[in-house]
Amino acid sequence: MSIEQQVTMSDATRVLELMDLTSLNDDDTQQSIIAMLDNIDAHIALPAAVCVYPQFVRLCKMELAARGWQKVKVATVTNFPCGEQPLEQVLAQTQQAIDDGADEIDLVMPYNQVVAGDPDTPWQYVHSSKKVCGTLVKLKVIIETGVLEKPELIAQASDIAILAGADFIKTSTGKVSVNATLAAAQVMIERIKINGKSVGFKAAGGVKTVAQGVPYLTLAADIMGDDWVNPSMFRFGASSLLVDVKQVVAQG
């Protein structure tokens, strides 16, 4: 029996409840975002959040409310995808997204600065963005592990984000050749534990099936404990994963 066949309906439901259902395509439209929301089957479970470009935040808030799904958070991205926008522009975009109703901001850290040996610039982006977010809006910081590559750089970027005030640290934008990996996830979750702060983890990009997601749940539980693996501390960022969740549920 293959790994794909071994996953259960319970696994699928759990993965869905931890999911940030994501659409970050250059050709996204209001119609395509609504179609994404239409694909959610509340009879199975609701995702933790939807993640869209800033121009669709207000639309998602209205559509989720119309469906009675206010518990589903709306996340959006800033400094995306390359992490190279001027800080003032990033902060203005963050404020506008919050004004439009965003519950969570997924900020791309200036990860190339970490590679270049400059930790101060990434720290400033995270710290300043968290000031704009305040206590009510969660800040999820993308460190782009596929570019950082080396465990020591992944650890350093994680530490910078955590110490600068991130509420979550997130692997990837999904826009580079290597996105979430278990090896990177292990480094990041271990840094969360070592720093001792209430910071969550998000695996984004490359998790396309329930079977691929389950090892991340096991890893997180092994490091942080079973109770830690809940939507306030653990997320998957995914687009096609919902298709597999539905297939697993349909198979019983």
* Catalytic center residues: 106, 170, 202
Asked whether the beta carbons of 169 and 158 are under 8 A apart, the reply is: yes
Name 74's bridge partners. 50
**What H or E segment, with its residue span, contains residue 76?**
strand 73-78
Q: What angle do CA 189, 192, 197 make, to 5 degrees?
A: 150
- For 156, the 3-state DSSP assignment is helix
Omega of the bond prior to 215 within 30 degrees of 0, cis?
no
CA distances from 175 to 24, 25, 165, 169, 181 (A): 9, 10, 25, 17, 14
